[in-house]
Amino acid sequence: MTHVPISVTVDGTVYDGEVEPRTLLVHWLRDSLGRVGTVVGCDTSSCGACTVLLDGRSVKSCSVLAVQADGHSITTIQGLAEGEDNWHPVQTALKECHGLQCGYCTPGMVMSTVDLLSENPNPTEEEIREGLHGNLCRCTGYHNIVKSVQHAAEAMGGAK
């Protein structure tokens, strides 16, 4: 099958490449661009570990073809805040509230939270739990993730 050219902005850098149409966005990010911060946890679009922002909205990058990202802009966990010292408030909150353990779900959890707070800067506990239900975590029981999101919302100026 023929390869197709694509041009995608990933974390602020434009990448031009040729992909097989069947290539999943997440595999292109990981295997071709070496941007391995975004991970894969399932094959049924269930776990959300692969969540990135596509034109600013959260999507599961295992459920988008790389060709479908052509001409679009992707933000991954690695581009959310540049450099080790540069922390997005959501990242800071997760550390502060011990909202991660093994960290495998974390990239997706962070990206979903960023999206959630952009739409609803001041979510209730129930809205947080509902809003993150596309992201599975096996380690934390979500208790501290919910706390982290509340903490981040506050830090980002949510009204409550």
Partner 1 sequence: MTEVLDTSTPMGRPLKRKEDARLLHGQTNWTDNIQLPGTVHMAILRSPMAHAKITKLDVSGALDQPHVVAAYGAAELGDLNGAIPCVWPVTDDIQMPPFPALAVDKVRHVGDAVAVVLATDKTAAYDALEAIDVDYEPLPAVVDMEAALQPGAPLVHDGEGAPMSNECYTFPLPGTGIPYDEAKAKADVVVKRRFVNQRIIAGYMEPRAVVASPMGMSNEMTVWSATQIPHILRVLLSLVTGLPENALRVVAPDVGGGFGGKLQLYREEILAVQLARHLGRPVKWTETRSEDMVASHHGRDQIQDIEICATKDGKLLGLKVDLLADMGAYLQIITPGIPLLGMFMFPAIYKMESYDFNCVGVFTNKTPTDAIRGAGRPEATFAIERIMDELAAELNMDPMKLREMNWIQHEEFPYATIAGLTYDTGNYEAATAKAMDLFGYDELRAEQEARRASGDPVQLGLGISTFTEMCGLAPSRTLGALKYVAGGWEHCTIRALPTGKIELITGTSPHGQGHETAWSQIAASILGVEVEDIEVVHGDTGRAPYGMDTYGSRSLAVGGQAIKKAAERLVEKAKVIAAHQLECSVDDLEFVDGAFRVKGDPEKAQPLAAVAFEAFSAHNLPDGVEPTLQAEATVDPDDFSYPHGTHLCAIEVDTETGKSTIRKYVCVDDVGVQVNPLIVEGQVHGGLAQGIAQALYEGVEYDEDGNLLTASFADYLIPSAADLPSFVTGTTVTPSTTNPLGTKGVGEAGAIASTPAVINAIVDALRPMGVTDVLMPASPQNVWRAIEDAKGGAA
Partner 2 sequence: MIPVAFDYTKVNTVDEAVAALVSGGEDAKIIAGGQSLMPVLRLRMAAPEVVIDISDVAEMQGVSDAGDAIVIGAGTTHHAVMNDPLVKTHAPLIAMTTETVADPQIRHRGTFGGALAHADPAGDLPAAAVALDAVMTVAGPDGRRDIPAKDFFVDYFTTSLEPEDILVSIRIPKLGEGWAYHYEKFNRTAQGWAIVGVAAAVKRQNGSIEAARIGLTNMGPGPVRATSVEAALAGAAASDDAIAAAAENATDGTRATSDLHAKADYREHLAKVLTKRAVAKAAGV
Ligand X SMILES: Cc1cc2nc3c(=O)[nH]c(=O)nc-3n(C[C@H](O)[C@H](O)[C@H](O)COP(=O)(O)OP(=O)(O)OC[C@H]3O[C@@H](n4cnc5c(N)ncnc54)[C@H](O)[C@@H]3O)c2cc1C
Instruction: Tell me how far, at minimum, the Cβ of 90 lies from ligand X, in Å.
Output: 23
- The nearer residue to ligand FES, 58 or 106, going by C-beta atoms, is 106
Phi, psi for residue 155 in degrees, rounded to 5: -60, -30
Asked whether position 112 contacts partner 2 by CB under 8 A, the answer is: yes
Measured over the CA atoms of residue 140, residue 94, residue 11 and residue 57, the dihedral's sign is: positive
Q: Can you tell me which of 59, 62, 90, 149 binds ligand FES, judged by CB under 6 A?
A: 62
> Is residue 57 part of the contact set for partner 2 (CB under 8 A)?
yes
**Residue 143, H or E segment:** helix 143-155
Which parts of this chain interact with partner 1 (CB under 8 A)? 20, 22, 30-31, 34-44, 46-47, 49, 76-78, 81, 84, 87, 91, 94-96, 98, 100-107, 110, 125, 128-130, 132-146
CA angle 126–129–134, rounded 5-degree value:
145
Does position 133 interact with ligand X (CB under 6 A)? The reply is no
Residues in contact with 35: Cβ distance below 8 Å, sequence separation at least 6, in sequence order? 10, 11, 29, 76, 78
